Chain A
Amino acid sequence: MRLQDQLVFNLRSLSRQRFRTVMQLIAMAIGAFSVVLLTGLGEGGRQFVMAEFSVLGKDILIVLPGRKETSGAMPPLTGGVRDITLQDAQAISRLRNVAGIAPLVVGKVELSYSGRQRESLIIGTNERFFSIRHLTLQQGQGLPDVAIDQARAVCILGAKLKTELFAAAPALGQWLKMAGQRCRVIGILANSGTGLGFDMDHALIIPVASSMQLFDSHGLFRLMIEVRALTDMAKLPQQIEQVMQQRHDGELDVTVITPASLLAAFDDILAVITLAVAAIGGISLFVAGVLIMNMTLISVSQRTAEIGLLKALGASNKQVRGLFVSEVLILCLVGSLSGIFVAQILLWFARQQFNGLLFIAPWWASLLALLVALTCGIVFSWLPAKRAANLLPVAALR
């Protein structure tokens, strides 16, 4: 039998049982749809998290106080941790491979300006922080380039914080009150969104020494280190640990992390989640396959007379089997393709709706959905097709 003739024969038979065909198509489409849509959403989530973390460049190291010991407790929780002081930071900045450092002190303080009050995130750091976090200013200037242990009564406002405190009025040169101290606004950040959990639009940035006075602390929350050359990335953590160990009387009580390793760990976890979600979609494809098998079994028993006739007219067992298998394959192909198509359209809408979130189903998701659908088709049509083929023509004709 020629392929075109077989196709026409299948399509005739499918369009004859329109309701059943549509039902099977929908089942198959839902299966493929969920595989593609779920992986697309998973992938979008992954991209989002990765983007959050990639705010930090590849050439950045982070030193945090404390060390994860075999007890398994997280660094900040282990007692008796010694602070990373500004002197420690200066010592590290003298290392040959270090291009620059940005100390980080974080806290919350009540701000006020002419009667308006806001509790705000305070970030104490230095001018290097701006380049590391790729922050840009819409007005004024950044933090003054002074030694890090020098306090200055200046601050830089996040874009939204500025609007909340000053509305449309000019903010540059104005004095803010914060917990009994005063600081002059010397710069305003451009819109910069969130990154690493800090909402920079609502933050107030002040010199690190000022923030330590404000919070009355001697320790840094984090120390960010910019590497001179990426090739030094491998050995630098060790050098930093050595310096810190010397300065802390032989005890190693800091942790050095590279964003790259952090990123890789997250990437692995999120990829597994995406796969798991795809597998859930795969189950619905499988269910659709079982449904099609049952429908086809019913169809075989309803069409015994036709099968007997085809055999009487000279169709071989192989031909009869082929007719039923290809009928199911058409269903699977058309169903899954339309499911994939609809899912892609929905993902496209999701991308338009949530700007910046990359809801893109990876190419392998669509391919996987299609392959699983076709495999299901072959596997699940085999039993009914074989049953049809093995009918004795005389028994089928009665």
Chain B
Amino acid sequence: MTHSRLNTQARPTIKASPMIQVNKVNKTFKLGDQAVHGLKNIQLTILAGEYLSVMGPSGSGKSTLLNMLGLLDVPDNGEYWLQGHDNICLDTVVMDEELRAQYRRDHIGFVFQSYHLIPRLTAAENMELPMVLAGIPPIQRKARLAPIIQRLGLAERAGHLPNQLSGGQRQRVAIGRALVMRPKLLLADEPTGNLDTHAGREVIDLLEELNADGITLIVVTHDMQLGQRAKRKIRMIDGEIVLDQLPSDEPL
């Protein structure tokens, strides 16, 4: 279980390519009997180590894009190539759900607006959970967890339950949980949405530090200030990418 099997029903076409390559992806939702375009003809290439923000009004499809990139949702058509083990890219659209789950576990970290911690587990246990699901033995789990707890400044809070923690601490636990499997891609959906300015600031600093260490960071937000901090800014309206501002486009 700890190692991905790459030869599944997915077409084993291998490309030497960027970390993420999205081709002509569409996703429609049924709202009553009306079809709503969640994603419209999305074309996107993301390189390893990038720092992106996705902005746009509510219902513009930015969360749908993030869920699709995080393999939580599957597009109706198109291709989504994602780098896995040994930098091999696979088209995740045609993968089976079991392999997609493995991809999520091994290559993607999630940070949610409402933390999504399990209330009956302590901070440390919440952070440990992905490793538990991956079947990693307890000794290795502890060894991996210790430096992360240290880095997040949660050493004194590790034994506390989520409801004994502040919002900022909870989000740091969630980030710790996203990091324990050492993913290359970190997806954050409104990570500061439930936090006050100070705590939100700390969380953003932490995420940016991680990006500086090499992790690819994609942040979805409608906070302009936060969005502007990213090196690459994507703007979405009605399921379409209307603006993709690369670092080089920035005015000096």
Residues of A whose CB lies within 8 Å of any CB of B are 1-2, 5, 9, 12-13, 15-16, 305-306, 308-319, 392-394, 397
Residue from A305, A317, A397 in contact with B97 in the complex, judged by beta carbons closer than 8 Å = A317
Sample of 19 more A-B contacts, CB < 8 Å, known A309-B116, A309-B118, A315-B105? A1-B134, A2-B132, A5-B132, A5-B135, A12-B121, A16-B120, A310-B133, A311-B101, A311-B104, A312-B70, A312-B72, A313-B104, A313-B129, A314-B130, A316-B98, A317-B101, A393-B73, A394-B67, A394-B72
Q: Given A12-B120, A13-B120, A397-B116, decide whether A315 and B133 contact each other with a Cβ distance below 8 A.
A: yes
What's the least CB distance linking A333 to chain B, in Å?
A: 21
What's the least CB distance linking B32 to chain A, in Å?
A: 17
Which residue of chain A lies nearest to B64 when distances are taken between CB atoms in the complex?
A394
Q: What CA separation (Å) do A355 and B145 show in the bound complex?
A: 63
What's the least CB distance linking B99 to chain A, in Å?
A: 9
- The answer to whether A2 touches B106, judged by C-beta atoms less than 8 angstroms apart, is no
Taking CB atoms, residues of chain B closer than 8 Å to A310 are 129, 133
Give B97-130 as 1s and 0s: 1 = Cβ < 8 Å from A's Cβ atoms: 1100110111000101000101111000000011
What's the least CB distance linking B73 to chain A, in Å?
A: 4
- The answer to whether B133 touches A319, judged by C-beta atoms less than 8 angstroms apart, is yes
Taking CB atoms, residues of chain A closer than 8 Å to B93 are none
- The answer to whether B116 touches A316, judged by C-beta atoms less than 8 angstroms apart, is no
Say what secondary structure dominates the interface of chain A: helix
Which residue of chain A lies nearest to B105 when distances are taken between CB atoms in the complex?
A314
- The answer to whether A316 touches B118, judged by C-beta atoms less than 8 angstroms apart, is no
What's the least CB distance linking A1 to chain B, in Å?
A: 5
- The answer to whether B72 touches A316, judged by C-beta atoms less than 8 angstroms apart, is no
Taking CB atoms, residues of chain A closer than 8 Å to B154 are none
What's the least CB distance linking A4 to chain B, in Å?
A: 8
- Can you offer 27 A-B residue contacts whose CB atoms are under 8 A? A2-B135, A5-B132, A5-B135, A308-B116, A309-B116, A310-B133, A312-B70, A312-B110, A312-B116, A313-B104, A313-B105, A313-B110, A313-B129, A313-B130, A314-B101, A314-B104, A314-B105, A314-B134, A316-B97, A316-B98, A317-B97, A317-B98, A318-B98, A393-B72, A394-B67, A394-B72, A394-B73
Q: Give the size of the chain B interface in residues (CB under 8 angstroms).
A: 28
- The answer to whether B118 touches A314, judged by C-beta atoms less than 8 angstroms apart, is no
Taking CB atoms, residues of chain B closer than 8 Å to A306 are 118
- The answer to whether A312 touches B104, judged by C-beta atoms less than 8 angstroms apart, is yes
Residue from A1, A12, A16 in contact with B133 in the complex, judged by beta carbons closer than 8 Å = A1
Which residue of chain A lies nearest to B180 when distances are taken between CB atoms in the complex?
A313
Q: What CA separation (Å) do A1 and B134 show in the bound complex?
A: 6
Taking CB atoms, residues of chain B closer than 8 Å to A311 are 72, 101, 104
What's the least CB distance linking A396 to chain B, in Å?
A: 9
Taking CB atoms, residues of chain A closer than 8 Å to B1 are 1
Taking CB atoms, residues of chain A closer than 8 Å to B175 are none
Which residue of chain B lies nearest to A396 when distances are taken between CB atoms in the complex?
B72
Instruction: Say yes or no: is B177 at the interface (Cβ < 8 Å to chain A).
Output: yes
Taking CB atoms, residues of chain B closer than 8 Å to A9 are 132
- The answer to whether B72 touches A313, judged by C-beta atoms less than 8 angstroms apart, is no
Taking CB atoms, residues of chain B closer than 8 Å to A15 are 120
- The answer to whether A313 touches B133, judged by C-beta atoms less than 8 angstroms apart, is yes
Residue from A1, A2, A313, A392 in contact with B73 in the complex, judged by beta carbons closer than 8 Å = A392
Q: Which 6 A-B pairs have the closest CB atoms?
A: A314-B105, A316-B101, A394-B72, A394-B73, A16-B120, A393-B72
Q: What CA separation (Å) do A9 and B128 show in the bound complex?
A: 12
Taking CB atoms, residues of chain B closer than 8 Å to A5 are 132, 135
Instruction: Say yes or no: is B219 at the interface (Cβ < 8 Å to chain A).
Output: no
Q: Which of B14-52 contact A (CB under 8 A)?
A: none
Taking CB atoms, residues of chain B closer than 8 Å to A13 are 120
Instruction: Say yes or no: is B89 at the interface (Cβ < 8 Å to chain A).
Output: no
Instruction: Say yes or no: is B137 at the interface (Cβ < 8 Å to chain A).
Output: yes
What's the least CB distance linking A44 to chain B, in Å?
A: 46
- The answer to whether A397 touches B101, judged by C-beta atoms less than 8 angstroms apart, is no
Instruction: Say yes or no: is B149 at the interface (Cβ < 8 Å to chain A).
Output: no
